[in-house]
Amino acid sequence: MQKKLDIAYLGHDILRSKTTRVDHIEDKAFQEFIDHMIYTVKAVNGLGIAAPQVYKKDRVFIMASKPSERYPNAPTMAPITIINPEIIKHSKTTTKDWEGCLSIPGIRGLVPRYDSITVKYTNRFGALINSSFTGFIARIFQHEIDHLNGLVFLDRLETNKDIITESEYQKIVTTSL
């Protein structure tokens, strides 16, 4: 049975905590936790969700991009479960683009991220995966792996002037469509 997990909001210690490697991916409780995370990220129209955002200290996150009211320009992808991730290589170039976070409602920031990354991680079936991501998906990966290291997107901003409200952001995306 899938259930919607409670979201931790900025100010709660869990979002600033260190996480630990997942060693028993096959455990029933962990597999159920993954199902709950996937269900939750869809239910709240997120593009990704990391374990600390639902009060767990496991090194796991879900990427689940699809267009929504929160992110009208997001590409569509099937949810991917990313366990014990590492960024092995990244482009020299970065691009600034708008990000939000389920744990920081009402706020958007213009966040610089690497344009492309080469990563390794373990999937929910225990297979070691080497992969490369570019653009928006690379951005989601970098946002979510930050959560596993106690960071949020606000920590990556070049200036506080790159913070805007959700309502002003909605005007920007509407006019750029």
Residues near Zn ion (CB under 5 A): 101
Min dist CB 70 to Zn ion, Å, is 12
Residue nearest to Zn ion according to CB distances in the complex: 101
**Catalytic-labelled residue, pool 69, 144, 158, 168:** 144
Pick between residue 68 and residue 126 the one whose CB is nearest to Zn ion.
68
Give alpha helix (H) positions in the chain: 28-43, 135-148, 166-176
* Tokens at 90, concatenated: 């990244």
> Which of 129, 106, 110 lies closest to 119, judged by CA?
129
Min dist CB 2 to Zn ion, Å, is 21
Min dist CB 16 to Zn ion, Å, is 13
Pick between residue 12 and residue 31 the one whose CB is nearest to Zn ion.
12
Min dist CB 147 to Zn ion, Å, is 6
Let me know: does 126 contact 150? Beta carbons within 8 Å: no
Is 69 a catalytic site residue? Answer: no
> Which of 60, 61, 53 lies closest to 22, judged by CA?
60
Pick between residue 31 and residue 154 the one whose CB is nearest to Zn ion.
154
Let me know: does 8 contact 50? Beta carbons within 8 Å: no
Pick between residue 14 and residue 101 the one whose CB is nearest to Zn ion.
101
Rg from Cα positions in the chain: 16
Q: Active-site residue numbers?
A: 144
